[in-house]
Amino acid sequence: MLVGFSALRERYAIELAQPLRVKSAIGTVRSHHESQGRVENHYPPGYQPEDSFAGHFAFGLKYEEIHLEFFARLFTAIGPEPVEQWCRQEPFGQYARRAGFFYEWLTGSPLQVPDVTNGGYVEAISSDAWLT
């Protein structure tokens, strides 16, 4: 069973110019295979995310790679509602906040959720994953 960004790509029929490099699935044991620039990861059942936009997007942010084209096309396909709902349910959740940031940045549209005025800041992209 696919999880993470690949599951969302299939669910919402997102076509990409640059394919997702990482494909994640739930299996019986954890395994990692890399070939020709692609990565296939299998995770044990304990990693199974909730079968929702939030569950799969959070899984992708935790275990996969940031793919801005995918995010932009996904947000265009789903609209703001799933991201807004997630941000309302978890206003201080780091993955909900990251999804909200990416949504607003890539679409240019503000989400209709209250601004967070306290709590710690989180990096949208881990500092060990980008170059300056």
Span 48-61, pLDDT tens digits: 999 999 999 999 99
Q: Look up the domain containing 69 and give its range.
A: 2-120
Check if the beta carbon of residue 31 is closer than 8 Å to that of residue 47.
Answer: no
- For residue 99, is it within any domain? yes
| pLDDT tops 80 at residue 83 | yes
pLDDT tens sequence across 11-39: 999 999 999 999 999 999 999 999 999 99
- For residue 128, is it within any domain? no
- For residue 125, is it within any domain? no
| pLDDT tops 80 at residue 130 | no
Q: DSSP string spanning 77-108?
A: HH-SHHHHHHHHH-TT-HHHHHHHHHHHHHH-
pLDDT band for position 132 (cuts 50, 70, 90): low
- For residue 131, is it within any domain? no
Entry pTM: 0.91
Q: How many domains does the chain have?
A: 1
